[in-house]
Structures are given as structure tokens and as C-alpha cells.
Amino acid sequence: TNNITLARNSSNIEGNAADFVINQQGISITLVYVDATKGWITTDTGNSSDAYVNDYIVATGGTITCCGDYKIHTFTGPGTLCVTSGGTPVGSDTVDYLVVAGGGGGDSGFSNRAAAGGGGAGGYRASGYGPSPLQGLASSVSIQGYPITVGAGGTQNCASNGANSIFAGITSAGGGYGFGGQNLPAPAGGPGAGPGGSGGGGDYAPNGTPGAGNTPPVDPPQGNAGGNGNEGPSPADPSSVYPAGGGGGAMAVGGDGPGASSGQVGGAGGAGAPNAITGSATFYAGGGGGGVGRPCAVRTGGPGGNGGGGTGGPGAPGVSGTAGTANTGGGGGGGASQAPSVGPGGAGGSGIVIIRYKFQN
């Protein structure tokens, strides 16, 4: 802002008959007089930023906790990771991350038999502290602000996909919605569960197909497909409970709705993945369980996948699937279906972004 001018006072500076302007912030300079031709010449320069270099990353943002020599920034909503020192390889110059998107919502059941599929889990992407097949590379950082997006869970009933979570160009896709006949036409333009980080579960065949997982594709994959529903032998058969499929999870596909011989339970949500980035292992990105139709004490909704997946609705009038757990990316449970009313699905759980790096030794 304010340059320094060294007046030459009739002597040359660096061989020039002109004043010398210092216009670099934080600079120091040493000049020595040598002769009438050269006058004053620069013999040494240095910058204040060169006097001390922090070997470790320094950053602010989110909720900050420590685990030994590591700092952990947890974002349960939007924010900014502000990096004020990029560190060096001697200390730390990369961060580990966990980026989980919002889970898909479970749909409502349809008619007096057809239950709805569970929502798919939000996409799961991590650089460490979890299952090795799902681990990506740690991310380098520089001095700047990194906007953080934490995806919301998908809505229930006429369900929607979960929203994406983003950190430093790493995007986890929202989970796909579970499908039920109530969702005609589906948001994607036709019958069938939504694709996403993990796909949603389908309702009974042949009306609905499960949603694809790992969409859009990344490597390692961020999730799995949902499960199929089952139509049963005939509408007149009491065993035709039309169990719906479970939503996919980070570690496994969603379970199919069982056949007529064992059709008292909806398809299970796909298993989520454990991750210990915070210092203790926690499961994330479990799929929502599928619902079932028609009342019976032994007909229960499919269990949600560990990692926040909601349970599917049981075969009882108007009973809803449960919501996915907040900040896990779990899919919502599919709605049950039984006259005179159909049960709504559960909303998807919101996502989470966690950043970890070494800050001391």
C-alpha cells in the first residue's frame, strides 16, 4: 500500500541515477556503497515470510476437535475450511477426508398391497480410516478457503434423491429415492427407483426397478444398487404382501423383497461403511429398508442398513417408514401399504463432511 523510496542523494543506486523504490511487502534489504559508478548496491534481501515456515497445516472452520497430534474439522452443515498454512512434507501437507452425501427418501406405499422401496444411502467417499476397498487418495491443500457443501436428505412420500456433499472437488452424490406406485411418474421420468451414490429400492415387480449405485461413477465406488421388490403369487393370496426392496448402502446392495414363501418382511437396507476419522469407528451411508403390505404381526418392514438407514414400514394401515439418521447419509425407510390408508416413507438422513490432518508432532 505504501512503497518505500530510498533517496539517492546524488549517489547512484545499482548504477542508476534515480531513487530506489521498495514495493514488496515484508521485504528487508541491505545496501553497501562500492564506488561512484555503481553507487549503492544490494548485497542481501529477505522476506519476513521466509523467516519462519510452518511445517504443519493450519486451518479454521467447522467444529474442531483433536485426536492426539491430529485436528479434525467436522461440518454438519455448509461452511468453509480456511487454510492459512499449507504445511510441508516434513510435517503435513495433505488432509484426509470423509465426504458423505444426503440419503434418498423412501416413497409412500401404493394401494392396499404395494409397499415402497427404501431410499439409497448418500455417496460415501473417504481417503482413509475405513474399509480399504473404499479408500481414495488424501487431498493436498493450499492457502485458500475451501467451501464445504453438506447434502440434505431426500424428502419422503413422493420421494426425492438426497443432495450432494462437496469438499475440494470431491463430490459424493445424493442417494437415490425409493420407489412406490405413489411416485408415478417418478422424478426421473418413469417408474423405478432413483440412481445415486447408492440406488433406491424398487417396489413390487414389474412396476418398479431398483436404482443404480455409484452414479455418477467414481473410483473407488461410492455406493451400491438398491434391491428388487417382489410381486408374490397373486393379489388374492394372503401371502402376497408385495415386499419392497431395500436401498443400497456403501458396502452392500439393498436386499430384495423375499418371495411368497418368506414374504413377511421387506428387503433390508444395504450395509454402510465404518470410518474412524474422528478417532472412533462410526458407520455411515446405510440404505433404508423396504416396506411391506397387508397387516400381520409377523410382517415387518425391512431393517435399515447400519450407518443410519431407516426401517421400512410394517404391514399396517398408514404406518410410515422411519427417517434416515441425520449426518450419516442413511436412506429413509420405504412406506407400508394397507387399506384404508398407505404409509408415507421416511426422509433421508443428511450428510456430513469431516477433514483431518496432522498439526503437531
pLDDT digits (tens, 9 = 90+) for 66-83: 999 999 999 999 999 999
Determine which helix (DSSP H) or strand (DSSP E) holds 50, and give its type and residue range: helix 48-51
Residues 309-314, mean pLDDT to the nearest whole number = 92
| The pLDDT value given to residue 189 | 46
Where are any strands of DSSP class E within 4-91?
A: 4-6, 20-22, 27-35, 39-47, 57-60, 63-67, 70-75, 79-86
The least confident of 16-25, 49-58, 150-159, 341-350 is 49-58
* 104-111 mean pLDDT: 82
Residue 34 has pLDDT above 90, yes or no: yes
Tell me the average pLDDT of the chain. Answer: 87
Contacts of 283 (CB under 8 A, 6+ apart): 272, 273, 274, 275, 306, 307, 308, 328
CA–CA distance, 140 with 162 (Å, rounded to integer): 28
Local confidence band at 54 (pLDDT 50, 70, 90 cut-offs): confident
Which of 72-76, 204-208, 295-299 is predicted least confidently? 295-299
How confident is the model over 199-212, as a mean pLDDT? 82
Three-state DSSP state, 51: helix
Cβ partners under 8 Å of residue 9, min gap 6: none
Residues 355 and 166: beta-carbon distance below 8 Å? no
Give the 3-state secondary structure of 89-149. Answer: CCCCCEEEEEEECCCCCCECCECCCECCCCCCCCCEEECCCCCHHHECCCEECCCEEEEEE
Residue 196 has pLDDT above 80, yes or no: yes
Q: How confident is the model at residue 237 (pLDDT cuts 50, 70, 90)?
A: low
pLDDT band at 318 (very low <50, low <70, confident <90, very high): low
My answer on whether omega of the bond before 206 falls inside 30° of 0, hence cis, is yes
What pLDDT score does 230 carry?
79
- Cβ–Cβ < 8 Å for 204, 240: no
Whole-number Cα distances in Å, 71 to 58, 66, 68: 9, 5, 8
pLDDT at 113: 60
6 CA to centre of own chain: 56
Does pLDDT of 297 surpass 60?
no
Strand-pairing partners, residue 352, are 100
Question: What is the structure's pLDDT at 229?
Answer: 85
